[in-house]
Amino acid sequence: MSQAIIHDQGYRRFEGERRGVAASMWSLVVHAIQRALGIKRQFRSKVMPLIVFAIVYLTAVIFVGLAFFLKSFDIGDAGFSYGDFASTSGFAVLLFIAFAAPEVICTDRKSGMLSLYLASPLTRTTYLAAKALGVFLILLTVTLGPQLVLLFGYTMAGTGPGGVDKFIEAFVRAVLAGSVGALMPTALSIGISSVTPKRAFASAGIAVGLLASNGVIHGLTSSEGADIDARLGVLNLFYVPIELAVRILGERNDVAPWNELATGWLVLANAVWTLIFGAMAWFAYQRVSVDR
């Protein structure tokens, strides 16, 4: 029989070493991703990400399945190429763009979390940077993830790139294209979300903004008989990142204005839009008051 002990249940000090600001930022990144994907939240919050995942990953899996069945098929001819996928999954990705940033940005202002965050080791800038990284990673799950599924699937089906060096090249292209597909939309959605604490307004603003600029620019540049400069395409907020991703994948959309627009303009457009919306968010957050 051992000696009887009554343990002290009092306050315990934390004697360990505190992690640095970088770790604080990373835990905010993880938190943002969990929040947007509905992890640790009720089922209601999981519906939206599940639908989007279902659309993009199921499509990718079906493409791969077809490749297995029709051993001889040429993915390019069949319209199943990496670039084709990037273009057609654009609308599912748009759902995510319109939903993710408002979910992780606007709610903090409405729910009072922002005042707790700013009283933590984060600053306005590091807070925003962590949130942006979170949104970027969330978008990567739908811009890069399915591409990798395609790449590995096609390779296993025997229709993928032949040889290790080709595979590595395709892999690098997929990563680059996925990142490009997520980068400018991250800036845009965070920029728009930073001006309102209302999630619905931000989501509507992003969706309407993307769709409307796509509609108008597409309408302007593709209407027959109209003689409009292809460079107007850089104003198509929705398609500018997608088209650049498609080109990184080694393909190109063969419709106006893209068939006439040089890749340099696309790179520039992506960079400039990213900077503009990034600056918009940064300035908005330097000024936002945290009474709540």
Partner 1 sequence: MATPVTTESYGPTSKAATMAVFGLFLRELATRARILVLSSLGLLMVLLGLVARFSDDGEEIELTMLIALGLGIIAPIISLVMASATIGERRADQSLVYLWLRPIPFWTIAVGAGAAAITVAMPIVLVSLGLSVLVSGEYQLFVPALIAGFLAVVGYTGIFLPLGALLKRSFLVGLGYILIWESLLSQLGNFFEQLSILSYSASIVVNATDVVTSSGGRSTPSSTVIPPLVLLGGIAITVRFLNRREID
Partner 2 sequence: MTAVIEATNVAKGWGSTHVLTDLTFSVGTGLTGLLGSNGAGKTTLIKMVLGLHDRDQGNLLVLGTDPEEAGPELRMRIGFAPEHHHLPEDVNAADLVRHIAELHGIPKQIATERASDMLWEVGLGEERFRPIGTMSTGQRQRVKLAQAIAHDPSLVVLDEPTDGLDPVQRDEMLGLIRRIGSEFGIDMLLSSHRLVEVEQVCDNVVIIGDGIVKRSGALSDLSGADLGYIVSVDDKSDELAAQLRTAGYDVNITIDGDVLVNGDQAALAVRNVVATLGVGIRRFETRRVTLEDVYLAEASETGAA
User: What is the DSSP track for 231-265?
Assistant: GGGGG-TTHHHHHHHHHHTT----STTGGGS-HHH
288 is a contact residue toward partner 1 (CB under 8 A): no
Span interacting with partner 2, options 111-119, 210-218, 241-249, 274-282, rule CB under 8 A: 111-119
In this structure, are residues 156 and 58 in contact, taking their beta carbons and an 8 Å threshold?
A: no
Give me the least distance between CB of 118 and partner 1, in Å please.
Answer: 24
Encoded tokens for 37: 């994907």
Interface residue with partner 1, options 65, 79, 112, 215 (CB under 8 A): 215
Site size toward partner 1 (CB under 8 A) is: 17
In this structure, are residues 97 and 210 in contact, taking their beta carbons and an 8 Å threshold?
A: yes
Crossing angle (nearest 10°) for helices 145-157 and 124-143: 30
Encoded tokens for 233: 């395409």
* DSSP conformational letter for 2: P
For the chain, what is the largest distance between any 2 Cα atoms, rounded to a whole number of angstroms? 98
280 is a contact residue toward partner 1 (CB under 8 A): no
121 binds, among partner 2, partner 1, none (CB under 5 to 8 A by kind): partner 2
216 is a contact residue toward partner 1 (CB under 8 A): yes
Interface residue with partner 2, options 58, 116, 172, 200 (CB under 8 A): 116
Segment 40 to 79, residues that bind partner 2, using CB under 8 A = 40-42, 45
Give me the least distance between CB of 110 and partner 2, in Å please.
Answer: 8
In this structure, are residues 189 and 100 in contact, taking their beta carbons and an 8 Å threshold?
A: yes
Task: Tell me how far apart the alpha carbons of residues 71 and 68 are, in angstroms, rounded to a whole number.
Answer: 6
Task: Give the residue with the Cβ less far from partner 1, 55 or 151.
Answer: 55
219 binds, among partner 1, partner 2, none (CB under 5 to 8 A by kind): partner 1
Task: Tell me how far apart the alpha carbons of residues 138 and 34 are, in angstroms, rounded to a whole number.
Answer: 9
Task: Tell me how far apart the alpha carbons of residues 10 and 13 are, in angstroms, rounded to a whole number.
Answer: 10
255 is a contact residue toward partner 2 (CB under 8 A): no
**Footprint of partner 2 (CB under 8 A):** 10-14, 16, 18-21, 23-24, 27-28, 31, 40-42, 45, 107, 110-113, 115-123, 126, 290-292
**Footprint of partner 1 (CB under 8 A):** 198, 200-201, 204-205, 208, 212, 215-216, 219-220, 223-228
